[in-house]
Amino acid sequence: MKRSPFNRRPRVAREADQLVWLAEGLARSSSRVEDAFWEPRLLNEVATLIDAEDEGALTAAMDRLSQSGERGFEELADVVEARCESALVGDAEAQVSMLLLAIPVLAWSRLRIPAGNLPDALLNQLRSDLQNHVLDKGARVVLGDFLFSPDQLPQGYTATATLARRFFAALEARRPLRLDPADFVETGQFLSDVRYVLAAVAIEPTAAIFRWQSEDVQRDAQTLAWASAAQSSLASAFPACAFEVLAPQAFFAACRESDRQLRPYSLSAGIEFLRATLGIEPAELRAFIGGFHGHRLEEYRIGLCLPEGEQVVHGLVWPLLDAEDENSELVAEIEARLRDAGVVHLHVFEQRFPLEFCDDCGAPLYPNEDGEPVHPEMPEQPASPSAHLH
């Protein structure tokens, strides 16, 4: 007989209580000696829950700690993420540390941004780029043969840990991880978005993973060399796209960094899209910025209008991330990014907009010059578009 989900609640609450107690204890520790008490207990508790695929207890504890405003949330998040994206395998005499990496690629196109399987020749070249410019000489690496969209990445901690284990098994077998596109949802279509190539790397415990961990290597120079090489290697995977390759990082850090980088990238892409499609220069556009609220400020939306008329021709979303709130300097950053892109006519609304979407298609609504949230619509007879994306 299938158990009622209500039977799980007391156990989930107990497991969450234990995580909160351990994470708060570690956060309030005043010495490394005390850390040595809390850390292994927290690590063991998290490992047990992840191995049991108990997402409920993990998220319940994270939610409670996030509301407390203390460092316990950061301590628990660090441990949970580390346990999901890394592993120590082997026996005491021959241990190997493994880490799941993500390579984010920011892209925009008037056509569909690609996702799905990658050919072996491209994977071989990208692996060579990693070994030549990013990874330490003693590191071993395998790549997955799939270009992930954000909604195709594992959802949740235990799903991430499961995918990481598949990569680690491929790394031990010294072969690329073959992924079936039928196992993933079909990705949505957006003007600009991020794609991910995932990889797993193995090193000896305490050894360097990245080249810039060496004292005689400059991280910025290596990152630039990597970006140039990877741009060339991935060109065939992004036809009719403008794209930018970011530096590889541990899985969760790479996802957070790509979220941050995608905001200004999407803003620039939207303005370039209007230039390429309508033949209009950024200085001719008018930008109207408003804060959109659910229970709290969730995001800023920017409506872009032509020199004349109140119709919004394109909209941009700048979501809040991590601990950002109404007190963050996001409006100033959005204005600066717009000006850097060539937009000079800006207006910021002080009113609170409701977090509304189109009833028919679900698209966000954007503020026009009258402060009304509207659906963006392109002109019926645009000028001849430019075919060049840059």
User: Among 73, 75, 98, 247, which residue's Cα sits nearest to residue 163?
Assistant: 98
**pLDDT above 70 (res 254):** yes
Residue type, 211: R
**pLDDT above 90 (res 8):** no
Q: What band does 10 get if pLDDT is binned at 50, 70 and 90?
A: low
Please give the pLDDT value at position 90.
Answer: 76
The rounded distance, in Å, linking the Cα atoms of 199 and 145 is 9
The rounded distance, in Å, linking the Cα atoms of 210 and 117 is 26
Residues 6 or more apart whose Cβ sits within 8 Å of residue 65: 20, 23, 24, 72, 73, 76
**Percent of all residues in the chain with a pLDDT value above 90, rounded to a whole number:** 80
Residue type, 191: L
Cα radius of gyration rounded to whole Å, the chain: 23
Q: Are 170 and 177 in contact (CB under 8 A)?
A: yes
Please give the pLDDT value at position 7.
Answer: 41
CA distances from 42 to 64, 277, 328 (A): 16, 54, 32
Please give the pLDDT value at position 11.
Answer: 58
| pLDDT digits 0-9 by tens, 152-190 | 999 999 999 999 999 999 999 888 899 999 999 988 889
| pLDDT digits 0-9 by tens, 125-161 | 999 999 999 999 999 999 999 999 999 999 999 999 9
**pLDDT above 90 (res 49):** yes
| pLDDT digits 0-9 by tens, 271-302 | 999 999 999 999 999 999 999 999 999 999 99
Structure tokens belonging to residue 85: 């994206």
Please give the pLDDT value at position 143.
Answer: 97
